[in-house]
Amino acid sequence: MYFPVAGIEVNPLVPPLVAFVISLFTSMGGVSGAFLLLPFQVSVLGFTSPAVSSTNQLFNIVAIPSGVYRYIKEGRMVWPLTWVVIIGTLPGVLAGAIVRVKYLPDPKNFKFFAGLVLLYIGIKLLNDLVFKKKKGDTPSIEERFQQQHKKQARTDQPGSPAAVAGLSRVTVRQWTPTRIVYEFCGETITVNGVGLMALSLIVGLVGGVYGIGGGSIIAPFFVSFFGLPVYTVAGAALMGTFVTSVAGVAFYQLLAPHYPGMVIAPDWLLGFLFGIGGFAGMYCGARLQKFVPAGFIKWILVACLLFTASTYIWSFFF
């Protein structure tokens, strides 16, 4: 099947299948999977125009709602975190779209930039995993939650499903412009609102250029720098990515008439095909998140990130 906007020909079953597999794993950590779909589109499919960024964000719009629905249903959507992400990243995403069109239209430069972003995320995740391994025998909140969840799930007592559901629910205790406090798995977690806002602004700029909405960057930051459990940040990161992706697609569409010699607007058909697969993958990933160790998901992400980053950076110089 030929996609005229992207200028590529591919079997229509390939995009949804690839998106399903990627989103199944990444959605467990609050990442839509767009950061891996972009190198697939650029390197495998040969979609190299600036429209690949807006198409990637279109994938987010179609795919994310199913995962967000599951996190809301299970009571693990931390709405204060969600709004901080949206307010911080939205201006950055719009600015990033301009940078992408004006200063990074060349595929070679764009791939180098993407490689640096992926390399940084990969090294950060790898460092966190190694540090966690050396830290000792003290289990994290994530580990305690999963241990309790598995223990409850194995019991034959009536009502155990309700106890399991109670473990996974988040209760917000305080929400001010400078402070967010919520409870999860019997612990009180306090977050600096100003720090989250500043980080979100930077992430939005990078995410706008890369066409990922910023979720794949901000979710690891939530876990690594702010010490938030991955089970509580996934929904907020995905929801923030969804809203900023809507703004990003709209902005790229508005910019398109001003750059008649450049393909900027998304390939709607290709984006929807990716989105359909992502929709199914994110729902399954959000549903299965409680049963999969966070460390396992992060190791998969590290391997994909470092491999893609090294390939892009190597191709820039050689």
Instruction: Tell whether 55 is covered by a domain.
Output: yes
Distance of CA 272 to the CA centre of its chain: 18
Q: Which of 261, 269, 316 is nearest to 8 (CA)?
A: 269
Can you give the pLDDT of all 318 residues of the chain as single tens digits?
999 988 899 999 999 999 999 999 888 888 888 878 888 998 899 998 888 888 988 999 999 999 999 999 988 899 999 898 888 888 877 787 777 777 766 657 767 877 887 788 788 778 877 876 554 455 567 676 776 666 665 654 544 555 555 556 888 998 988 899 998 887 889 988 888 888 888 877 776 676 555 666 777 778 777 878 888 888 988 998 898 888 878 888 888 888 887 888 899 999 999 999 999 999 999 888 878 877 787 787 788 778 778 877 887 887
Q: Which residues are CB-neighbours of 49 under 8 A, at least 6 positions away?
A: 6, 7, 105, 262, 263, 264
Domain that holds residue 65: 8-317
Instruction: Tell whether 2 is covered by a domain.
Output: no
Instruction: Tell whether 36 is covered by a domain.
Output: yes
Instruction: Tell whether 32 is covered by a domain.
Output: yes
pLDDT at 158: 46
Helix (H) or strand (E) holding 184: strand 179-184
| Residues 114, 39 contacting (CB under 8 angstroms) | yes
pLDDT at 66: 95
Instruction: Tell whether 24 is covered by a domain.
Output: yes
Instruction: Tell whether 103 is covered by a domain.
Output: yes
- In degrees to the nearest 10, what's the CA dihedral of 81, 222, 250, 63? -90
Instruction: Tell whether 287 is covered by a domain.
Output: yes
Instruction: Tell whether 3 is covered by a domain.
Output: no
Token pair for 225: 């720098």
Distance of CA 112 to the CA centre of its chain: 20
Enter the pTM of the model.
Answer: 0.80
- The total number of structural domains in the chain stands at 1
List alpha helices for the chain, DSSP H.
14-26, 34-39, 51-73, 79-103, 107-134, 141-154, 160-168, 193-210, 215-224, 230-255, 268-288, 294-317
pLDDT at 151: 65
Q: Which of 191, 194, 244, 189 is nearest to 216 (CA)?
A: 244
